[in-house]
Amino acid sequence: MSKKRVFSGIQPTGQIHLGNYLGAVKNWVDSQDVYENIFCVVNSHAITTPQDPKELREKTFELAGMLLACGIDVGKSSLFVQSEIDAHPSLAWILDCNIAMGEMNRMTQFKDKSLKNPKNVNVGLFNYPALMAADILLYQADGVPVGEDQKQHLELARNVAIKFNRDFGTCFKIPEPMIPEVGARVMGLDDPQSKMSKSHKGANHAIFLLDSPDVILKKFKKATTDSLDTIVFDTERKGLYNLLGIYEVLTQKSRESIEAEFVGKGYGALKLAVAEVVIETLRPIREEYMRLSAQKGYIAQILKESADKVRPIAQATYQRAKELVGLI
């Protein structure tokens, strides 16, 4: 039987942090033998907020290098840059013409970003979900790994695909959301009420994949916990639950064995244990990234070959959609 096709995208803005890795990238890497994976650096999405052109190009290559360092194997998966395939914005326009304003107005990310950047509420930011839908639907994906914050966007992609197929004829596969049970939502170390973020200003908020061991240890030592003295998985104790969740994902131990491991121990022991497992997980990634970052031509060649591989899939889908709506 052929493998199910899975599409995933990530923006080249800021540095990849532990939340990105555990919530998305690690799952991508681990699933490469199970699915036909198509991974996309979604640089066109990045320009919905102001970007320095030179820096955006650099960040695009940096992100590709980091994904390769994390274990994306182009012998098993495809890794390309969104802007290199023109069918993405072309299909987004057709989808725009089939999405109701009411559906777009309900997108919570647009509302959140508009409040954070009231002086840069552009049409692209509003239209972001249509381009995201095009990214997914172009490749006839069976599934899309998403965090809870992107689930609404995937639902819009599903809705427009169903509507299009009904109104014009079969064109798109209806993708299913894939939300990992563990590690899907890593919270900030300094503020466990909010998701770990690239843009958060707190110095101890996020663990970045290129952080040194000393920096990682320092950040974990300052992680927010509480005043209680038992180490158990309790969703109400946000800081503790976040640390235990990170430890659970990286050690693959059961919750029962983890709780037993820390019986009679304090938060200092837990923070040290979590820091150590994170340091050892990230060490080979950091070393491989340093090796790859000196080979920009090699990364560019990988991106080109993958784009050439997946472009016919995207072009065939766009051509079908174009014909169905009556465009010549």
Domains of the chain, by residue range, sit at: 5-184+295-324, 213-290
CA 183-201-66 angle, to 5 degrees, is: 50
User: Which pLDDT does position 328 carry in this prediction?
Assistant: 86
Say yes or no to pLDDT of 182 above 60. no
Q: Which amino acid makes up residue 50?
A: P
Token output for 70: 């994390």
Q: Which of 116-130, 249-263, 295-309 comes out lowest in average pLDDT?
A: 116-130
Contact call for residues 188 and 238 (beta carbons, < 8 A)? no
Say yes or no to pLDDT of 26 above 80. yes
| Position 125 confidence tier, pLDDT thresholds 50, 70, 90 | confident
Tell me which architecture the domain covering 213-290 has in CATH: Orthogonal Bundle (1.10)
Cα distance between residue 44 and residue 57, in whole Å = 11
| Position 262 confidence tier, pLDDT thresholds 50, 70, 90 | very high
Span 117-140, average pLDDT:
89
Most confident of 44-53, 199-208, 318-327: 318-327
pTM: 0.89
Say yes or no to pLDDT of 307 above 80. yes
Say yes or no to pLDDT of 183 above 80. no
DSSP character string of 162-176: HHHHHHH-S----PE
Q: Which residues contact 47 (CB under 8 A, 6 or more apart)?
A: 56, 124
* Sign (positive or negative) of CA dihedral 144, 150, 152, 157: negative
CATH classification number, 5-184+295-324, choose in 3.40.50.620, 3.20.20.150, 1.10.150.20, 3.30.1490.190: 3.40.50.620
Helix (H, G, I), strand (E, B) or coil at 222: coil
Count H helices, E strands: the chain?
A: 14, 5
Cα distance between residue 29 and residue 71, in whole Å = 6
Say yes or no to pLDDT of 211 above 70. yes
Say yes or no to pLDDT of 17 above 80. yes
Span 219-238, average pLDDT:
94
| Residue count (the chain) | 328
Quickly count: other Cβ atoms within 10 Å of residue 326's Cβ. Answer: 7
Annotated catalytic residues are: 113, 195, 198
DSSP β-bridge partners for residue 5: 36
CA 251-18-127 angle, to 5 degrees, is: 135
- Residue 112 Cα to chain centre, angstroms: 18
Quickly count: other Cβ atoms within 10 Å of residue 46's Cβ. Answer: 20
Span 241-260, average pLDDT:
95
Say yes or no to pLDDT of 106 above 90. no
Span 12-16, average pLDDT:
86
Say yes or no to pLDDT of 186 above 80. yes
User: Which pLDDT does position 226 carry in this prediction?
Assistant: 93
CA 90-45-194 angle, to 5 degrees, is: 145
Q: Which of 112-116, 133-137, 211-215, 305-309 comes out lowest in average pLDDT?
A: 112-116
Q: Which amino acid makes up residue 201?
A: K
Nearest Cα residue to 282 out of 208, 190, 183: 208
User: Which pLDDT does position 301 carry in this prediction?
Assistant: 96
| Position 149 confidence tier, pLDDT thresholds 50, 70, 90 | low
Say yes or no to pLDDT of 327 above 90. yes
Span 304-319, average pLDDT:
98
Say yes or no to pLDDT of 268 above 90. yes
Q: In what order do the strands lie in the sheet with 78-81?
A: 78-81, 36-41, 5-10, 143-145, 176-178
| Position 124 confidence tier, pLDDT thresholds 50, 70, 90 | confident
Contact call for residues 197 and 188 (beta carbons, < 8 A)? yes
End-to-end Cα spacing for the chain: 36
Contact call for residues 138 and 313 (beta carbons, < 8 A)? yes
Say yes or no to pLDDT of 116 above 80. no
| Position 148 confidence tier, pLDDT thresholds 50, 70, 90 | low
Question: Torsion angle, CA of 176/93/24/232, rounded to 10 degrees?
Answer: -70
